[in-house]
């Protein structure tokens, strides 16, 4: 009886762990959630750095609707950070806005050209009128992710 109980418990524990992990999807390099910082902490660390290797957890605001080749992660104060994928080696699903992501890679302060900003706006489904309003480059926080977990 005792052996049966242990066997059943082990099977149930294995199944529960499998179900919980099945909800998370991995893209790019295999990463873990261990040690991830939130976007507030990333912003604090970036005050003294123009580039930083980091693992960050945050909410996805938008995703490229053409093929999932970038996403926007919410930052404090209503801002957002563009997340691209290292070497254009992987994409994420187009329907993940509102979900939580853990990204690992490099955060950088960069200037995005008008041409590239217009391209991103087009990818996100912006109207021609909205795209035409983009007429200045933007210096912003960006992130190149080597690996992504979608919760």
Q: What is the 3-state secondary structure (H, E, C) of the chain?
A: CHHHHHHHHHHHHHHHHHHHHHCCEEEECCCCCCCCEEHHHHHHHHCCCCEEEEEEEEEEEEECCCCCCEEEEECHHHCEEEEEEHHHCCCCCCCCCCCEEEEEEEEEEEEECHHHHHHHHHHCCCCHHHHHCCCCCEEEEEEEEEEEEEC
Going from N- to C-terminal start, the domains of the chain cover 25-150
35 pLDDT higher than 90:
yes
139 neighbors 110 (Cβ within 8 angstroms): yes
Q: What was the pLDDT predicted at 123?
A: 87
Q: What was the pLDDT predicted at 2?
A: 52
Nearest of 25, 54, 24, 50 to residue 39 by alpha carbon: 54
Binning pLDDT at 50, 70 and 90, where does residue 124 land?
confident
Q: What was the pLDDT predicted at 62?
A: 95
Q: What was the pLDDT predicted at 33?
A: 97
Q: What percent of the chain has pLDDT over 90?
A: 79
Binning pLDDT at 50, 70 and 90, where does residue 144 land?
very high
The correct CATH number of 25-150 out of 2.60.40, 1.20.120, 2.70.98, 2.40.50 is 2.40.50
96 pLDDT higher than 70:
yes
Structure tokens that stand for 11 in this block: 């099977």
Q: What was the pLDDT predicted at 12?
A: 40
Q: What was the pLDDT predicted at 22?
A: 56
Q: What was the pLDDT predicted at 15?
A: 41
Q: State pTM to two decimals.
A: 0.79
The C-alpha atoms of residue 137 and residue 57 are separated, in whole angstroms, by 27
Q: What was the pLDDT predicted at 25?
A: 97
């Amino acid at each position: 009886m005792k052996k049966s109980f242990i066997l059943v418990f082990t099977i149930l524990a294995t199944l529960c762990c499998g179900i919980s992990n099945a909800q998370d999807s991995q893209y790019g390099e295999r990463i873990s959630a261990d040690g991830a910082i939130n976007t507030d902490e990333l912003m604090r660390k970036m005050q003294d750095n123009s580039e930083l290797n980091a693992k960050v957890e945050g909410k996805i605001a938008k995703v490229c609707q053409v093929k999932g080749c970038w996403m926007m992660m919410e930052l404090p104060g209503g801002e957002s950070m563009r997340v691209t994928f290292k070497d254009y080696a992987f994409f994420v699903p187009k329907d993940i806005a509102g979900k939580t992501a853990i990204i690992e890679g490099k955060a950088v302060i960069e200037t995005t050209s008008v041409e590239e900003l217009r391209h991103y706006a087009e990818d996100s489904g912006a109207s021609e009128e909205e795209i035409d309003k983009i007429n200045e480059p933007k210096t912003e926080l960006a992130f190149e992710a080597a690996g992504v977990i979608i919760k």
